[in-house]
Structure 1
Amino acid sequence: MSNTNIKPTEGEMEILQVLWKKGNCTVREVHEALNKKDAGYTTSLKLMQIMHEKGLVDRDTSSKTHIYRALINQEKTQQQLVNKMIDNVFNGSAARLVMQALGNKTASKEEIDLIKEYLDKLENK
């Protein structure tokens, strides 16, 4: 099943972030990592079952406790979502997205240095 055009919901993205960071996890591990006060364990379980049906995660059912892993690539997913946001919210302007992002959040010196380094590479292509 090709899952390249699947657009995860906000809740699904939160679960994917946990799986991308931690690797294979049980529903309990994901639920605890999310640390949501307003959502119960069964909510996390149901969402992960839906994600399995959609092809976002795989589930190992060989033991009593099912183990989930992300099936979609973090970088590709982030790239697709950013491209969609640039098109839909910033009228196709990556520069406007970057300026908005930097205006909303204070970047550390290390982050600014990385951005400058990246811009230099782009300029020298």
Structure 2
Amino acid sequence: MKPTESELEILQVLWANGPSTVRQVNEQLSQAKEVGYTTTLKLMQIMHEKGLLSRTEEGRYHIYQALIGEAETQQHLLDRFVDTAFRGSAMKLVMQALGNSKATPQELAALQRLIDNLNPENN
């Protein structure tokens, strides 16, 4: 399931902080932009209905937790992005990214290690 941009922001808070109340999530979101509590509450209720979040009661509070993992969500979003924006070519994505920014020697070395590990001749 592909979360919306607003849902992804909520998921990122939950992935970073673990199970949280709506108020805790809203406070985190409000640090970057103005977000109303009721907007966050409604989004999290919808996400619960969609199966993106679990909700448990602790006293008078509802505690929400992400039901989808960060890595699997990132992989799914990346796969869709590569398919739609780069016609399925990861190479075009990497070339575009490297062409638009100056990679540090450390980043280039890490990329080289990744390439070496992916190369079947090295395995």
Q: Which residue of 2 aligns with 1:18?
A: 13
Structure 1 position 103, deviation (Å): 3.6
Q: 1:9 to 1:62 in 2, by over 3 A?
A: same
| Partners of 1:107 and 1:32 in 2: CA distance | 35
Q: Which moved more, 1:61-70 or 1:43-52?
A: 61-70
Q: 1:19 to 1:118 in 2, by over 3 A?
A: same
Q: 1:42 to 1:109 in 2, by over 3 A?
A: farther
| Partners of 1:112 and 1:28 in 2: CA distance | 42
Report the TM-score, using the length of structure 2 for normalisation: 0.86
Q: 1:87 to 1:51 in 2, by over 3 A?
A: same
Q: 1:50 to 1:111 in 2, by over 3 A?
A: farther
| Partners of 1:106 and 1:17 in 2: CA distance | 27
Q: 1:13 to 1:103 in 2, by over 3 A?
A: farther
Q: 1:115 to 1:44 in 2, by over 3 A?
A: same
| Partners of 2:105 and 2:92 in 1: CA distance | 21
Q: Which moved more, 1:27-36 or 1:106-115?
A: 106-115
Q: Which amino acid aligns with 2:12?
A: Q
RMSD after superposition: 1.7
| Partners of 2:101 and 2:45 in 1: CA distance | 34
Q: Which residue of 1 aligns with 2:112?
A: 116
Do residues 74 (structure 1) and 70 (structure 2) align?
yes
Counting only pairs closer than 5 Å after superposition, residues 18-97 of structure 1 correspond to structure 2 as 18-34=13-29, 35-97=31-93
Aligned residues: 120
Structure 1 position 63, deviation (Å): 1.9
- Structure 1 residue runs of 4+, over 6 Å off? none
Q: Which amino acid aligns with 1:100?
A: Q
Structure 1 position 114, deviation (Å): 2.7
Q: What SS is found at the alignment partner of 1:37?
A: coil
| Partners of 2:63 and 2:103 in 1: CA distance | 36
Counting only pairs closer than 5 Å after superposition, residues 93-112 of structure 1 correspond to structure 2 as 93-112=89-108
User: Which 5+ residue runs of structure 2 have no aligned equivalent?
Assistant: none
Q: What SS is found at the alignment partner of 1:25?
A: coil
